[in-house]
């Protein structure tokens, strides 16, 4: 790494000629069209306070990408994403000219983000814009945003993004269904007592066709005999947003039902944004993630990150705070930690087009920093098939948000970030694609080289002209892999429920990655870290190819699951036994 840092010193010595620091006129930095389903309610109150996050350029990010697989230290990663000193100086001068001292600025460890809390009237002056209260037509929620902002011309090369300004993402958990068990029987009864056979060739209890448990998943994915260690510094985590909290009593009830050896054990709770909640309320998403994530990985050390956020802005009563998109908040926190869980799953996201491209790319760069530090990240691929999941998948219109109102398949964020492993969904035994499995192609991120061959093979098989103009064939394709995503038996507020959605498949796949790390750590090898290049190369043979099903949306039947990679189930579902052999072989040291 010494040579890498030396190269950085040489690169930064060749600074460009920077513009004068004198006051320069404002010029539009970013503009978006009026977002679909959002309407202006009123002018934003001038005293309303906004937490502005200012992203400075990362001039050596391309070098970080080349070292993604080396398990760099926190200091090494920070050196690779640090802004140029000239950018820091110019931005500091600008903030000082508006009355901000160093004590008013919260900086990320690499100093690539600067955060200030500012009233609307000052934000409008700094950004030469006007904020409004916007209300969503369907949900009724309100936020304070603008559709454009400007910066002094001399700062355009030194500030990549300022938010919250133009971001209208609503952030939702990817769970498509939830319903109670039959109260008379207390359980779902299988229609037959004949064992069913999984793609791994293993007999699975027939009840797994109607109710998914921890035992079902271990049987399905060839990991029934796996006994992970609690003493080799392995770790696993899930994230929670939107006031979702995991309930400890529900976990104990779940353990008594499905993982009796784990009864009276728990997990760590880390509050990213401080909250007054005692984590006593049961959130269905949080309960699902923690119960199956920690149930599958017990006794590996588990952590639940809660990024509670602020309550929505309520214009009628002048609530003084409003929600911000939480990914940068979470990234700021997690990247500042010396020790990070080796596998982290998230089950939240939104339509890609509701997130400004500049913001999406900066958040994605943050996920890459985690990968460089040896962390494996998974994300749900979404529950709308090729659409947005907000209506009947066969009737969704799926309009673009760029002013042209074209019909187009809708990509999702953050799952389309190429530094995340996107997880789609399956159902039944033998497995087929579940109809809501999100999949498609990004309009923001180009197709990464690691999936070139697999995606090109799919596109070549696609009948010529199919869905022409409805998707970007050159974009990053997702999902990468898949796992069961329907009828997961959970305990919520003391009641047994069934949940479906890729909210279930992401923590499931992530849990098996944690088990693979257990095998590697026992063999004296490092954690897997950024997964995708491995998945599309050596590890392909460790997946059960799913070849039936499709993911309808936008008034179409969507894509079909087929032989090889497809934008419904990716490479398929994991065969733990085969994958463990692959990742512990000498060639993967």
Tokens for 245, please give them: 């909290």
- Contacts with 585 (C-beta within 8 Å, 6 or more apart), sequence order: none
For residues 320 and 49, is the Cβ–Cβ distance under 8 A? yes
Query: Which of 359, 444, 15, 27 shows the shortest CA–CA distance to 164?
Result: 359
Q: Say how far residue 124 (Cα) sits from the centre of its chain.
A: 31
Residue the block writes with tokens 């512990």: 584
Q: Is 126 helix (H, G, I), strand (E, B) or coil?
A: helix
Is 545 within any annotated ligand binding site? Answer: yes
For residues 529 and 374, is the Cβ–Cβ distance under 8 A? yes
Tokens for 276, please give them: 């007054």
Is 390 within any annotated ligand binding site? Answer: no
Residue 380 a catalytic site member: no
Q: Which DSSP state fits 503?
A: H
Distances (CA, A) of 129 to 27, 120, 321: 11, 10, 19
Tokens for 573, please give them: 């579902």
Catalytic entry in 219, 258, 285, 325 = 285
Tokens for 3, please give them: 């040579």
Q: Is 302 helix (H, G, I), strand (E, B) or coil?
A: strand
Query: Which of 375, 360, 367, 356 shows the shortest CA–CA distance to 331?
Result: 367
Is 564 within any annotated ligand binding site? Answer: yes
CA distance 574 to 577: 9
Residue 411 a catalytic site member: no
CA distance 213 to 198: 15
CA atoms within 13 A on the CB side of 424: 38
CA distance 346 to 14: 40
Catalytic entry in 289, 383, 518, 575 = 289
Q: How far apart, in Å, do the first and last CA atoms of the chain sit?
A: 19
Catalytic entry in 235, 347, 482, 503 = 503
Residue 89 a catalytic site member: no
CA distance 112 to 58: 7
Is 546 within any annotated ligand binding site? Answer: yes
Q: Give the count of beta carbons closer than 10 Å to the beta carbon of residue 144.
A: 24
What are the catalytic residues? Answer: 285, 289, 503
What residue numbers does the annotated binding site cover?
545-546, 564, 566
What residue numbers does the annotated binding site for Ca(2+) cover?
545-546, 564, 566
């Amino acid at each position: 790494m010494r040579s890498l840092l030396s190269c950085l010193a040489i690169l930064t010595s060749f600074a460009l000629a920077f513009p004068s620091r004198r006051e320069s006129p404002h010029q539009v930095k970013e503009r978006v069209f009026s977002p679909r389903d959002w309407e202006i309610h009123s002018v934003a109150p001038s005293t309303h306070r906004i937490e502005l996050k200012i992203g400075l350029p990362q001039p050596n990010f391309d070098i970080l990408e080349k070292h993604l697989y080396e398990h760099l230290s926190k200091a090494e990663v920070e050196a690779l994403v640090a802004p140029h000193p000239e950018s820091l100086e110019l931005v500091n001068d600008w903030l000082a000219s508006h009355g901000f001292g160093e004590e008013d600025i919260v900086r990320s460890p690499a100093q690539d983000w600067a955060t200030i809390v500012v009233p609307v009237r000052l934000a409008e002056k700094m950004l030469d814009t006007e904020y409004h209260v916007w209300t969503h037509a369907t949900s009724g929620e309100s936020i304070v945003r603008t559709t454009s902002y400007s910066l002094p011309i001399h700062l355009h090369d030194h500030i990549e993004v300022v938010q919250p300004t133009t971001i209208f993402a609503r952030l939702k958990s990817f769970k498509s269904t939830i319903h109670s068990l039959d109260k008379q029987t207390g359980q779902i009864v299988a229609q037959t007592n004949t064992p069913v056979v999984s793609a791994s060739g293993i007999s699975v209890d027939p009840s797994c066709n109607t109710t998914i448990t921890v035992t079902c998943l271990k049987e399905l994915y060839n990991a029934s005999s796996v006994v992970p260690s609690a003493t080799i510094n392995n770790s696993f985590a899930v994230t929670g947003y939107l006031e979702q909290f995991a309930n400890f009593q529900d976990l104990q009830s779940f353990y008594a039902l499905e993982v009796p050896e784990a009864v009276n054990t728990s997990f760590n709770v880390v509050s990213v944004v401080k909250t007054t909640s005692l984590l006593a309320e049961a959130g269905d998403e949080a309960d699902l993630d923690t119960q199956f994530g920690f149930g599958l990985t017990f006794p590996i050390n588990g952590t639940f990150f809660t990024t509670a956020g602020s309550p929505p802005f309520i214009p009628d009563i002048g609530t003084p705070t409003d929600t911000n998109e939480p990914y940068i908040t979470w990234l700021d926190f997690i990247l500042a930690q010396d020790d990070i869980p080796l596998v982290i799953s998230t089950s939240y996201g939104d339509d890609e087009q509701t997130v400004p491209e500049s913001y999406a790319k900066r958040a994605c760069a943050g996920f890459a920093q985690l990968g460089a530090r040896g962390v494996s990240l998974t994300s749900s691929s979404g529950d709308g098939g090729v659409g947005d999941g907000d209506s009947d998948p066969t009737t969704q219109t799926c309009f673009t948000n760029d002013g042209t109102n074209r019909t187009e398949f809708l990509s999702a964020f953050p799952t389309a970030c190429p530094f995340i492993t996107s997880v789609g969904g399956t159902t039944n035994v033998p497995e087929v694609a579940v109809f809501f499995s999100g999949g498609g192609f990004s309009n923001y991120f180009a197709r990464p080289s690691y999936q070139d061959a697999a995606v090109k093979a799919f596109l070549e098989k696609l009948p010529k002209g199919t869905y022409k103009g409805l998707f970007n064939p050159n974009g990053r394709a997702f999902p990468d892999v898949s796992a069961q995503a329907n009828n997961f038996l959970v305990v919520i507020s003391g009641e047994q429920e069934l949940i479906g959605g890729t909210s279930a498949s992401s923590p499931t796949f992530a849990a098996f990655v944690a088990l693979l790390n257990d095998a590697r750590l026992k063999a004296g090898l490092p954690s897997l870290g950024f997964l995708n290049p491995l998945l599309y190369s050596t590890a392909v043979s460790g997946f059960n190819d799913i070849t039936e099903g499709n993911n309808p949306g936008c008034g179409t039947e969507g894509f079909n699951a087929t032989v090889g990679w497809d934008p419904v189930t990716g490479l398929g579902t994991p065969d733990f036994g085969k994958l463990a052999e692959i990742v512990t072989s000498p060639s993967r040291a």
